[in-house]
Amino acid sequence: MPTPSLRAQTMRVYDGLLRRVMCFLVSPIGRVYLNIHGARVGRGLRLQSLPFCRCYGTGHIDIGDNVTILNTLYQNAAGIMHKTVLIAGDGALLRIGNDVGISGATLDARNSISIGDRCMLGANCGLFSTDYHPLHPADRHDRTARAVQTAPVTLENDVWIGANALILKGVTVGASSIVGAGSVVTKSVPPGVIVAGNPARIVKRVPESRMLFSNRHAGAASTVQDSQIVHATGRS
């Protein structure tokens, strides 16, 4: 009877082979599926199953090179609850940069959404450039579409969005910054910091020595002061 270590090693090899086979088979199909639904796809797309993709009216989706999109719990044990959702509304642009990893995220561009290079989007996170409904009850009752507020969302290079975090309309997350799991980001985040909470607040800086060279200038230019950092006690 195989030992536990041998069984574990066998399962790792099996899982690795299965992922490679699925990626080899599904990625070309996924490229065609995305093209049919209005997305331009760069080189090196990696898929093991299909996301949900829609472009409405003159909306457009632009996906860069070497992008990985995960869509099931089997592909990411962090807890993917649904397939990745890529939506570009009428007249909107959803742009995804190079070397980006996405795990069951919802990217709904009713205004524009721009994701920089080397960003990581954790399981079930959401980027929303719209409120979906008007703020005033009378407008909601009358279904007044023009009263719905929208604003662009931007992730600069090397941003990491934790699982189940929400990035709301009008937010820019600066280069190399991290959004903690479950956070709700309602205001723009400067480069090179870690934010967490609801609403998200700065809790720590990212060490400048660990940033990629292209982002160090942006991090050094950040105006974050010690008084803006929320410590473990909850006081700023």
Instruction: Give the predicted TM-score (pTM) of the model.
Output: 0.83
- What is the helix (H) or strand (E) element at residue 143, kind and residue range? none
Ramachandran bin of 214, using left for φ above 0, alpha for ψ from -120 to 50, beta for the remaining angles:
alpha
> Of 102, 104, 99, nearest to 121 (Cα)?
102
The predicted pLDDT at position 236 comes to: 39
Of 60, 82, 133, 136, the catalytic one is 136
The predicted pLDDT at position 139 comes to: 76
Q: Pairing between strand 193-196 and 201-205?
A: antiparallel
Tokens of residue 205, six digits:
């800086």
The predicted pLDDT at position 235 comes to: 41
The predicted pLDDT at position 214 comes to: 55
Q: Is 136 a catalytic residue?
A: yes
How far apart are the C-alpha atoms of 202 and 192, rounded to whole Å? 10
The predicted pLDDT at position 213 comes to: 53
Phi, psi (rounded to 5 degrees) for 163: -60, 140
Q: Answer whether 123's CB lies under 8 Å from 163's CB.
A: yes
Which domains, from first to last, does the chain contain?
Answer: 4-209 (2.160.10.10)
pLDDT of the chain along its 236 residues, tens only?
A: 566 788 778 777 777 787 788 888 899 999 999 999 999 999 999 999 999 999 999 999 999 999 999 998 877 777 888 999 999 999 999 999 999 999 999 999 999 999 999 999 999 999 999 888 878 787 777 777 677 888 999 999 999 999 999 999 999 999 999 999 999 999 999 999 999 999 999 999 998 866 765 555 554 445 565 556 665 434 43
